[in-house]
Structure 1
Amino acid sequence: MSVKVIEGGYPEHATFERTFPGKAYTDPEFFQKELDHIWFKTWLCAGRAEEIPKTGDFLTVEIAGESLIIIRAQDGSINTFYNVCRHRGSRLCEADNGNFSKGYLTCHYHSWMYDGKTGDLINAPNIPNDDQDFVKEDRSLKKIKTEVWDGYIWINLDENAESLKDAFALPESWALYNQYNMKNLKLGKKKTYKVAANWKLIMENAAECYHCSNIHPELSRTTPPSRSRVKVDEKIPETEVVKHTGGMDLRPGFERINIDGKVYRPPFPGLPEEEINKIYYLHIYPHLYIGMSADYVFMATIFPVTPEESIVQGYWLFDPEELEKDDAYIQDAVDFWDVTSLQDWEAAELAHEGNKSRTYENGGILTPAEWRVTAFKKYVESKVNGN
């Protein structure tokens, strides 16, 4: 019996597996376990360093109602704090981004001012510095572990977390991706998407291309999912969260990862000739995937809002020299991943609605072609169970 192979085949160990039960995508108790054991204990990608280039520039990130501020301090360092004033608990700011003058975070409510590097309380109006009943050192902002790697901002809410280097097996795990020089790329476009689906469904969708020929005509035309994936050298390590998903070749006649396959920008400087007609994918659990093509990088981060709602941030990164040109053109890349992403969000939303049905109480099945989804499921299960 002949079988049509899609998703580039699968490893010998792949088999049929159960999905999560339906309630795993809607149950508040299960969602809270995910927050406690995954989201508040894992290195997360919060954006790109070039988003906050100047002293006082900041971003806010929200994880299920927990708001965080990422700020460029006076010395150029990037630091993250809970978005909570230590006076009366007010949020320090509501904006997605902006600038705190001179790198001092000032609460709009009573003007308590904090240092952007240390979080130390600098000034509290109407309280004398020598007041013995008030200890400024006890009122510092709560700081969050923050590191920058290859231009990406990484945060971890667990103060006892291992370093990013250890969690990601750096720099060895990143060896393949050095050819894209991501540290020096610049943000050409950023888009925010609201998705009415559980965060896991979005990441599960990203973990397989079993669906690609059905819902992604543009993507399937450019990189046919029936082709074998380009494997990553086994010497490049993975970790519990860093997963190399390999590369895909472009269809003959296509020269770039976009809808028409035409060239609008030169390849990245120094990119080997044999890599120009490929795109590589990297997944970092629980919420990030990166696609690296010859002339731009697309990345997406997923953040949970509630068990049934998520926010996805899409980023398009380019060689800064290309962005500075008078005739700079990036819309081909933006359009390609925007249409593909919207197709994915619709699929995730439909799956979420179906997963609420009483007929899906015990879940469904994952085929061998969805072995990467199985791996992600096992990661979530392990963390939720405290392993």
Structure 2
Amino acid sequence: MKSIEGGFPSYAKFEPTSPGSDYYDPNHFHEELEKIWFKTWLLAGREEEIPNSGDYKTVQIAHENFIVTRGSDGEINTYYNVCRHRGSRLCTTEAGNFPRGRIICPYHSWMYSGDTGELTKAPNISDEDEGFDRSEHSLVSIRTETWDGFIWINADSEAPSLKESFNLPESWSIYEQYQMHRLKIGKTGTYNVKANWKLLMDNAEECYHCGTIHPELSKATPPMQPRQWVDEEVPETKVIKHVGSMGLNPGFERVNVDGKAYRPVFPGLSEEDQRKIAYLHIFPHSYICMASDYVFIAAIFPIKADESVVKGYWLFDPDVLEKDDAYIDDAVEFWDVTCQEDWEACALAQQGNESRSYKDGGTLTPIDWRVANFKKYVQDEMEKN
């Protein structure tokens, strides 16, 4: 790790934000879906959410809904949540299990294999019926890969692989010490936010606001301290961004509500890393916060131009969670409070972005340099695709 004097690089500068309409115009929002969201790898959850054959969860991205399910062979498959008969939604709950691995449409009982997506039964329809070919009515699948316990999905069949997009394993090497593949979910949370998805990512890209709206976070880590940046030899990609780490304030042993140590640190962490929280951002929609005794993940999903949903995950050592007296509230409360403070600020920003007085946007300061980088990522994707 290395420290950059001043906390931000020399190329940081004052520059305009995106225009206000980029945060509420429905046509622009639809274009972002097609050019960004349905062309990149997205964090769909954790493997332990669907541990058994037939288990499934759904992922909502704007008007699209996807079924992520584990097959009888243990492999994870993802399908559009759409029946090939008359377009009915197949799964009406966010999670569950398909008995015998059969996905059955609630409208006309067309039946599909969870392993392959193939249509296995259509009541009162025969394979001999002229004009009907069962093989042409399989569920539409999208690409699914896993890494470090996470599930990633991509609706673009021609996109580079996850390994190529993330430059794996090289870009992930500095996070191997957290052994996230073996961690387990201790708590999840869902947040409905009245703000455009980009405002939520903009917020995550800077801590300029932390001293103002995050008293709990500021007690644990100084918000404007010179951050420890990852060594430049560790590669980034278009979407993998090493956001560095922040040290603990004196008197704090852990990144939580009171600084007390309720759990042992992860095995293998250096003494220096035991007193830090490290951040990894994955464009366009997620970030991973690695403390010494837990990991918090936020995945942002667009619902409408002015509405988003955030899925939060708190991961802990499984040995901790198996204890009868396991205590995780200190970490859960810390990020729950911090997130709600963020989402309230983003909702206020949404209101301002919709003002006619803000049609040309505002100003990014040098402190907002990571916001500027994210803005450039979005602009590049919109112009390229």
* 2:183–2:318 contact (8 Å) kept in structure 1: yes
Equivalent pair of 1:17/1:366 in contact (CA under 8 Å): yes
> Which position in structure 2 is the counterpart of 1:4?
none
The 5-angstrom pairing of residues 30-109 of structure 1 reads 30-109=28-107
Q: CA deviation at 1:128?
A: 2.6
Aligned pair partner of 1:146 in 144, 149, 156: 144
Q: CA deviation at 1:9?
A: 2.2
Deviations 1:69-97 (Å, cap 9, x if unpaired)?
A: 00011111111000001111100011111
Correspondent of 1:329 among 319, 327, 343: 327
Alignment partners' CA distance in 2, 1:300 and 1:160 = 27
Gaps of 5+ in 1: 1-6
In structure 2, C-alpha distance between the alignment counterparts of 1:129 and 1:329, rounded to whole Å = 57
Distance 1:10 1:108 in 2: 54
Q: Is the 8 A contact 1:38 1:384 kept in 2?
A: yes
How far, CA to CA, are the matches of 2:366 and 2:339 in structure 1? 24
Instruction: Give the SS at the match of 2:208.
Output: coil
Counterpart contact for 2:50–2:70, Cα < 8 Å: yes
1:1-387 equivalences under 5 Å are 9-386=7-384
Deviation at 1:311, TM superposition (A): 0.3
Contact 2:208 2:224 in 1 (8 A): no
Quote the offset at 1:111 in angstroms: 1.6
Quick one: distance in 2 between partners of 1:269 and 1:282?
20
* Percent of residue pairs bearing the same amino acid type: 61
Partner Cα distance (2:241, 2:25) in 1: 27
Instruction: Report deviation, 1:132.
Output: 4.7
Number of residue pairs matched by the alignment: 381
- Gap runs ≥5 in structure 2: none
1:57 CA drift (Å): 0.7
For residues 304 and 94 of structure 1, the distance between their equivalents in structure 2, rounded to whole angstroms, comes to 19
CA distance in 2, matches of 1:262, 1:114: 51
- 1:59–1:98 contact (8 Å) kept in structure 2: yes
SS at match of 2:374: helix
Corresponding residue SS for 1:276? helix
How far apart, in 2, do the equivalents of 1:74 and 1:126 lie?
A: 27
Aligned residues of 1:267 and 1:295 also touching (Cα < 8 A): yes
Distance 1:35 1:234 in 2: 32
What is the alpha-carbon distance in structure 2 between the residues aligned to residue 203 and residue 226 of structure 1? 19
Aligned partners of 2:207 and 2:224 also within 8 Å: no
Q: TM-score, normalised to structure 1's length?
A: 0.97
| RMSD between aligned residues | 1.1
Contact 1:303 1:312 in 2 (8 A): yes
Relative distance call for 1:222 and 1:124 in structure 2 (3 A) is same
Structure 1 segments, 4+ long, off by >6 Å, are: none
The amino acid of 1:18's aligned partner reads: P
Tell me how far apart the structure 2 counterparts of residues 37 and 8 of structure 1 sit (CA, whole Å): 35
Q: Name the SS of the counterpart of 1:109 in structure 2.
A: coil
TM-score by length of 2: 0.97
The CA deviation at 1:253 is 1.3
